[in-house]
Structure 1
Amino acid sequence: MKKLGAAILGLMFITSAASAQQRVLDKVVAVVGNGIILQSNIESDYARYIYEAGANGLPPDMKCQLLQHQLTQKLLAQQAVIDSVTVKDEDVDFEVDRRMRIMKQRAGGQEKLEAFLKRSTIQYQDEIRPDIREMLTAQRMQQKITERVNVSPQDVKHFYDAIAKDSLPVYSKEVEVGEIVFTPALSKEEKQEYKDKLEAIRQRVKNGEDFGKLARVYSQDAASAVDGGDVGFFDRAQMVKEFTAAAFKMKAGELSQVIETDFGFHLIQVIERRGEQVHARHILIMPSITESSLDRSKSKADSVFKQLIGNKKIDFSNAAAFYSDSKETKFNGGMMLNAQNVNARTTYIPTELLDPQVALVVDTMKVGQISKPVLITSQDGHKSYKLLYLKSVTDAHKANLDQDFPKLKELAFENKINRTVSQWFEKKRKDTYIRIDAEFQTCNSLKDWVTTTTAQAKP
């Protein structure tokens, strides 16, 4: 099983940027304007999907879909040249670096990845950079095509009225739930042992030991530890402020003091500076919550609960803003947001999307009720006490304008976006020379793409 996984992983990393000899043996499967799409482009994407979903999880026309995706990307990228739509070098660098970090993590480190690739990661990055640039350019061009799309209340009503009544979406039971989170905090004395541990590692680096080797052994950031603590390039907005502040003050090769963030304690070493981006590696030590800190958290939660239930001098929204440790909800009146509908920022959450621990408590509550402190364990194992507030319950129902206007507005917007893009492609396909290899001309999804009949033609 391991050998099969390695073979698929290796195949996943093959790209159209192959060696000259491979290109001679490659095949052009489509011509779009002044661009070409190679068989190897399709095969590498197909291998990646097999790796992620398994061969049985792919639709039978997957290669047709992949070619259609690349055709659309080529059209958008070529229009971007005409409209002077560009992407910054640092955006390309960031995306290349992001992909490389994922690949290194999956492969088990840089050395194993290079063994799969049969080339250095630096060489591979240079090979995929043109494809990444084209992808980002196409995305930017599509954003330009749809940037003026909006929907009015009248548009939403027309969209709703056009849906057959027996085809209206059915929404499951939804709730609005607020939270006040009390995260256990270590005392200064409790933190010191972890700071001392990282300080000892810092001294070992200063004395000549390899930072990367120490990161692999001691860092508790699983994503970067396997790669010697390397977190790749990042800008000022991508890391927590304490980490960013330290990294952007340093020169290449410098070693930081021990830095504290919400994640724990970090030792940072800058590898490279490039404009407004820094390439760094770090060692993370995460303090363990003590029973004493949990007790302190519980005591604070009990106190706030008594205030809310007792004298009524403070309401839940204000209490959340003042006491909650959750950065996601404290400035939203404590209300949780639907994670699957972040753009709409809706507080209506289908019960099946709630944390099962929260759902178990909410199921026993009445609307308007506040729970006693509940101990919740997150997916990453962190514990906190929460006060939960059930603001409303909406039973399962067919969509209607009164209850579901925000959801219907989002559906209407997506529909208008899709129609705008489809109309653009329909016009652009007619104005662009497109040739598709006979192997793919049987694809239903590609029938409207051929502008020249070339079933027997050889590219």
Structure 2
Amino acid sequence: MLMRKIGIAFLLSIVFTASFAQAQPVRNLDKIVAVVGSSIVLKSDVELRYANYLASGGQPNDKVRCEIVQSFITQKLLAQQAVIDSVTVKDDEVDNEVDRRMRGMISRAGGQDRLEQFLGRSVIQYKDEIRDDIKENMVATRMRSKITEKINVTPLDVENYFKKLAKDSLPTFNKEVEVGEIVFQPKMDKEEKEPYRQKAEELLARVKKGEDFGNLARIYSNDTGSAPDGGDLGFADRNTFVKEFAAWAFRLKAGEMSPVFETEYGFHFLQVIERRGEQVHVRHILIMPSVTEASIERAKKRADSVYLLLTKNKNADFSAVASYYSDDKETKYNGGMMLNAENVETRTTYIPTDKLDPQVALTIDTMKVGEVSQPQLFTEQSGKKVYKILYLKSATDAHKANLKQDFPKIKAAALDDKTNRVISEWFEKRRKETFVKIDPEFEVCPELKGWANVPMSAQSTKTP
């Protein structure tokens, strides 16, 4: 089917645009490889995205170039329809996305100077060059969302979809479990945290005396995400930050610095760089306290007392206890139940055992359904140590897909199938209504067969 790979092509347009090109942009290629309505696709654009693909770890493959051309065509069809349907993105949204991507590129390059040397131009110049493409990509993404926003499937749709699947090709699902947790984070008292507050105060004093904020952030800040960028957090709205941080970020004027203040992450001070409507551009330095043995021991005592409550009180409900005692904000408001990180949109609590944290998987492997574990010390991905009580709510053995056990997964697959069909039909219609030419070099691509509705001679593909 002409459109069977349209989803892959559109995804490529997003991935490649977001990737970091580690090769100089090709400037001497000016051949037009496709015309889509009033827009053109240059071979230099294709080669730049291909360079991005290679830079992100892809293997050389001419088929990818075909998919890139298809991604450009789909992007331009969506963007042109967006003009008709008044689907837009705001300039500040585009600016934020450009800034976000540039921060990532600077970080991966090892600094702005190295990136500029690599690109052969200034960051400001490069941002101007990529802005239009990023904007078009964002508009296309929003247009695609508009096309699919009202798509849904009924239980009957799911059942019919499942019946049409070949029985000998039904997937086998691994063992799945539902696991609850109550998390006890070590909490330090004021005296234990005081040395870290003093360190933040000392750094603030050094900045006020004239030392470079960015250099100090790179050396001392414990925020690993922003420290390589000199503490720069870019533009963000109020909801991006915890309340204490937002209060200072939106209270100060451009150029002003906050005093040292505390959040759940540690001690910060920040400087406002620029205000833009309801968004603010700030940089900060974070000093994060290291937990003490005494605080870990206090967390263990709290965990032990809650474990006794769960095991000695027959009326104790795990969900209620987790909601009241757990320190983990992501699970406590879900009755302590962990969500499948790969299916966040469906909010399913069924998790394949091979996707669990290895520490959790090892613990529940010896548990029976309905049991709670004794408190154990866990090390999270961030390196923080916490005590956890685990609860094994259910366990489903590996099995062939069926509607009774796997309805949420099959529903998601049915919805994807319906969405892809709607998108394919939309592109099929727009392709027929839109002037589309493809250069013979790419017209032979299987992915592009049937796209062109006007022949393009090789002689007509050169720009002046």
User: What is the TM-score normalised by the length of structure 1?
Assistant: 0.93
The answer to whether the Cα contact below 8 Å between 1:307 and 1:313 also exists between their aligned partners in 2 is: no
User: Of 221, 240, 243, which aligns to 1:219?
Assistant: 221
**Comparing 260-269 and 300-309, the one that deviates more:** 260-269
State the distance in 2 between where 1:454 and 1:89 align: 36
State the match for 2:11 in structure 1. none
State the distance in 2 between where 1:111 and 1:187 align: 43
The answer to whether the Cα contact below 8 Å between 1:12 and 1:44 also exists between their aligned partners in 2 is: no
RMSD across aligned positions (CA): 1.6
State the match for 1:26 in structure 2. 30
Q: Counterpart amino acid of 1:324?
A: S
Q: Counterpart amino acid of 1:34?
A: S
State the distance in 1 between where 2:61 and 2:300 align: 51
Tell me the CA shift for residue 263 of structure 1: 2.2
**Comparing 230-239 and 317-326, the one that deviates more:** 230-239
State the distance in 2 between where 1:217 and 1:71 align: 46
State the match for 1:48 in structure 2. 52
State the distance in 2 between where 1:375 and 1:381 align: 12
State the match for 1:234 in structure 2. 236
Tell me the CA shift for residue 241 of structure 1: 2.5
Question: Aligned ranges for residues 126-137 of structure 1 at < 5 Å?
Answer: 126-137=128-139
User: Of 208, 211, 218, which aligns to 2:210?
Assistant: 208
State the match for 1:340 in structure 2. 342
State the match for 1:3 in structure 2. none
Match of 1:175, SS state, is: strand
Question: Aligned ranges for residues 79-118 of structure 1 at < 5 Å?
Answer: 79-118=81-120
Alpha-carbon deviations, 1:305-355, whole Å to 9, x = none? Answer: 001001234211111001000111001110000000000000000000000
Question: Aligned ranges for residues 378-393 of structure 1 at < 5 Å?
Answer: 378-393=380-395
State the distance in 1 between where 2:61 and 2:246 align: 43
Match of 2:333, SS state, is: helix
Alpha-carbon deviations, 1:33-78, whole Å to 9, x = none? Answer: 00011112111111111111243xx554111111111110000001
Q: Counterpart amino acid of 1:145?
A: I
State the match for 1:330 in structure 2. 332
State the match for 1:364 in structure 2. 366
State the distance in 2 between where 1:241 and 1:159 align: 46
The answer to whether the Cα contact below 8 Å between 2:176 and 2:398 also exists between their aligned partners in 1 is: yes
Task: Report the number of matched residues.
Answer: 443
Identity of aligned pairs, percent? 60
Tell me the CA shift for residue 117 of structure 1: 2.0
Alpha-carbon deviations, 1:385-444, whole Å to 9, x = none? Answer: 000000000011111111111111111111111000000000110111111112111210
Distance change (3 Å), C-alpha of 1:312 and 1:13: farther
State the match for 1:146 in structure 2. 148
User: Of 4, 12, 19, which aligns to 2:22?
Assistant: 12
State the distance in 1 between where 2:247 and 2:23 align: 35
State the distance in 2 between where 1:25 and 1:52 align: 22
Match of 2:238, SS state, is: coil
State the match for 2:174 in structure 1. 172
Question: Aligned ranges for residues 377-456 of structure 1 at < 5 Å?
Answer: 377-456=379-458
State the match for 1:376 in structure 2. 378
Match of 2:41, SS state, is: strand
Match of 2:286, SS state, is: strand
Q: Counterpart amino acid of 2:375?
A: P
State the distance in 2 between where 1:360 and 1:285 align: 34
Tell me the CA shift for residue 11 of structure 1: 4.6
User: What is the TM-score normalised by the length of structure 2?
Assistant: 0.92
Distance change (3 Å), C-alpha of 1:456 and 1:124: closer
Q: Gapped runs of 5+ residues in structure 2? A: 1-18
State the match for 2:12 in structure 1. none
Alpha-carbon deviations, 1:116-164, whole Å to 9, x = none? Answer: 2222212221221111110010011111111111111111111111111
Residues 1:39 and 2:80 are matched in the alignment = no
The answer to whether the Cα contact below 8 Å between 1:441 and 1:455 also exists between their aligned partners in 2 is: no
Q: Counterpart amino acid of 2:311?
A: I
The answer to whether the Cα contact below 8 Å between 1:178 and 1:389 also exists between their aligned partners in 2 is: yes
The answer to whether the Cα contact below 8 Å between 1:105 and 1:223 also exists between their aligned partners in 2 is: no
State the distance in 2 between where 1:392 and 1:25 align: 59
The answer to whether the Cα contact below 8 Å between 2:245 and 2:263 also exists between their aligned partners in 1 is: yes
State the distance in 2 between where 1:108 and 1:296 align: 41
Distance change (3 Å), C-alpha of 1:152 and 1:59: farther
Tell me the CA shift for residue 457 of structure 1: 4.2
Q: Counterpart amino acid of 2:339?
A: L
State the distance in 2 between where 1:448 and 1:25 align: 26
